[in-house]
Amino acid sequence: MATSTDSKNVNDNGKGVNVGSVDGGAYPSRPMHRASISKEVRAAESNTTDVESASVPMELDVDERDFRKKQVFKGWALAWLAYQSLGVIYGDIGTSPLYVYSSTFTSEPSKEDILGAVSLVIWALTIMVTIKYVCIVLNADDEGEGGTFAIYSLLSRYARLVRFDPRHTNLVPMQRFNTDDLQKPNLMTRNFLERSAFMKWLLKIVGAFGVSLLLADGVLTPAQSILGAIQGITVVNPEISSSTVVGVSCAILVVVFLIQPFGTSKIASTFAPIVIIWMLFNLTFGIYNLIMYDSSILKAFSPYFAGSFLVRNKTQGWLQLGGILLAFTGVETLFADLGAFSQRRVSQRFAFPGFSLFIRAFSYRAYANPFFLTVPPGMLYPSLVMAVLACIVASQAVITGAFQLLAQIMKLSYFPQVKVYHTSNTFHGQVYIPFANWLMMIGTIVVTAVYNNTTALGEAYGACVILVSFLTTSMVAVVALIVWRLPIYLVLPVFIIFALWDGIFLSTALSKVPHGAWFTLMLAVIITCVFTLWRYGKEEQWTAEESDNAPLSQTTAFKNNQLSLHPSFGGSSITPITGLGIFFDKSGSTVQTPVVFLHFLQKFSAMPEVSVFLHLRPLSVPSVAPSERYTVTRCYTYGTGPDKQPIPNCYRLMVRHGYTDEIITPDLAILVLDLIRAYVDETSRFDPAKDESDEMGALLRAWKSQIIYIVGKEQLKIAASSNIFRRMVLWVFLWMRESSRTKIQQMKVESDRLVEVGFVKEM
């Protein structure tokens, strides 16, 4: 057991003391900033009606340290991140030549049709990727995070659209503009969204559906990419059966998912050279084909041939757009991976790796497999190896994006809190989620075995990609109005142009729903139902818990100089019991009563001689400096004012920690003792009226007597008056909640000192 060490600290007029302790050293720190609700939030409350109610404490504790901040990289770190981004993001778009033309043409095309298809690919890449995503969409990030749900999260900070977890209200940096700061059309748009319950639910579903489509994409992309690469084996030996191709593809897929625990940084650094060589192969092979065969394919850079293709082929040409859209299937993962690689790196590093990626299909006899049928002599086997490796990289883009998106939706209570591993101490947004990884592996293998060829997969794949793109277009238009505050006469034309562009591809993709695309949509709808069900259950849970959300001044009082429960909670006297009690407090408020403490008082009419409300606040950084980590305050029966009366020997301890800091250890009680001793010692110097010996004596007596850790276990039950549908939905929610709940046995403290206080809430 570690020995106790004293630590110096800094006082902030009695409000709180930040205490740091490592190896007995002293680390001065700025005091915790406490602020009331911002002007923007007040303006929101005064100018908005029909806003979802939420339990907001009378005083909102706001500290900039608790907010997620966008990482800014410079120098070698920026260069290294740029190198890594090559190994994840650009493989998806770069492997499109393997299956675009086989998904576009079902029979041997004419030379004119190949020219038109190449022209469509070139301009689709230019409009969709360069103009729409790189120049516009990537700027709609939420503190560095991308994807449709990041857009929804961004909107929820600039408009009161979502009910936040009451315990996390002070962790959300609201940035809502005042009424006078918005032009009238922009203000009308925001007011319409805030006042319409239908629009709030629609945005919730759209945000969740976008994530669901990308997760479905995470099942289809690895199957599509790797199956397309392995099909190249049939060029070498046409006798190879489709079952062999499927078997080899499934084996490679297992390997792809098995390496994910190594983390994005290591995987990306390893894969980057593969992408570079792959791009060089495509560039040099494309130049070879231009020189050796026909350079007239360069005419495809003229949009005339794209239009001519559609006019000439009419309905068939429209249907063939479903294959063309596979050329830009990596754009949404480009956006989703933003949190792992930063907006600056993604946008600056994006460059087409030579349009030779696609013009190599000019030989109309090579349409079925343009990559392998157009390689220079002697390069078939090296090309096959590089194609397989490059397709593994293409799979990585969407797998990494799926981890990013799932981590985002958990923050807004759309999914249970499953285990998330941060895989880099330098790049904070790179995460790995085992639950998602193994689930996607199973789904991908099943899809590969069922569809067994890239043409069938492409029909399911395209609908997913373009539907996400359309949702992104719509949500970014709203961002442009209420976040960027752009004039509506600029936003509306741009939105219409891109919505029509997406709509053309979406219409042809949806025409393939009966032929395979139904699977993508069905999978996305199922995942969306899970997300919305969990969110609905959480909101019902917060409503049920509102009766416990009360400040200490409304739950405790002094009666005849003895601490008692407030009359509204029974008014019984509270008897002190020996020992140091550490209550795990989830709220983190400086005035609110910890739920576990309230129920302990109600059940036993007693409290430990010394009580500490311990709140753990995780931050999205690897580690928090000791000088910034600990904040200690006293507890008062009155929140503010000169008449506030402290509860004897009762303290709050907030611990801010990063994802590599380990706080809950067998030595947790020693840490708490050191911090409280340091706080008592420091505050007594600034307030001579306080009797340090009494407080210190009580602390040491309690420590020597016993130490108990008190945690709450809330049980929820469904109200008997609930209808059948509501009862079924909440039953599923409660089952998911219980299955994902952290068990008390997993806490790394002495189990014989752990006390669980159970209580029941009716939903």
Per-residue model confidence as pLDDT tens digits over 675-722: 999 888 887 766 555 555 678 888 889 999 999 999 988 899 999 888
Report whether 245 contacts 233 (CB < 8 A): yes
State both tokens at 24: 């007995």
Hey, what CATH topology would domain 76-159+186-538 get? Amino acid/polyamine transporter I (1.20.1740)
- 423 and 432 in contact (C-beta within 8 Å)? yes
Helical H runs in 658-717?
668-686, 692-705
Confidence of residue 441 (pLDDT cuts 50, 70, 90): very high
- pLDDT tens-place string over residues 125-142: 889 888 898 889 988 888
Classify burial at 588, counting beta carbons within 10 Å of its beta carbon; exposed 0-12, middle 13-18, buried 19 or more.
Answer: buried
End-to-end Cα separation, the chain, in angstroms: 44
Rounded to 10°, the helix 148-158/380-411 angle is: 30
SS3 460: helix
Q: Could you report the per-residue pLDDT of 397-428, keeping only the tens digit for each?
A: 888 888 888 988 988 889 998 888 888 888 77
What stretch(es) of the chain map to CATH 1.20.1740.10?
76-159+186-538
- Which of 150-154, 171-175, 356-360 has the weakest average pLDDT? 356-360
HSE, side-chain direction, 13 A CA sphere, residue 495: 18
The pLDDT of residue 3:
36
State the helix-helix crossing angle for 488-510 and 454-482, rounded to 10 degrees: 160
CB proximity list for 70: less than 8 A, separation 6 or greater: 141, 143, 144, 342
Minimum mean pLDDT range among 23-32, 452-461, 621-630: 23-32
CA distance 262 to 570: 55
pLDDT band at residue 618 under the 50/70/90 scheme? confident
Question: Residue holding tokens 């009716």?
Answer: 762
Q: Please enumerate in sequence order all residues whose Cβ is within 8 A of that of 355, keeping only pairs 6 or more positions apart, or say none.
A: 122, 125, 286, 301
715 bridge partner residues: 760
- Residues 436, 439, 443: CA angle, nearest 5 degrees: 130
Whether residue 473 has pLDDT greater than 90: yes
d(CA 357, CA 330): 15
Instruction: Report phi then psi at 231, rounded to 5.
Output: -60, -20
- pLDDT at position 60, please? 45
**Is 407:431 a contact under the CB 8 Å cutoff?**
yes
- Coil, strand or helix: which one is 482? helix
Average pLDDT over the chain, rounded to whole? 79
327 and 117 in contact (C-beta within 8 Å)?
no
pLDDT in tens, 142-163: 888 888 888 998 999 899 888 8
With CA atoms as reference, report the closest residue to 651 among 554, 581, 707, 579.
581
- Identity (one letter) of the amino acid at 464? C
3-state secondary structure of 585: coil
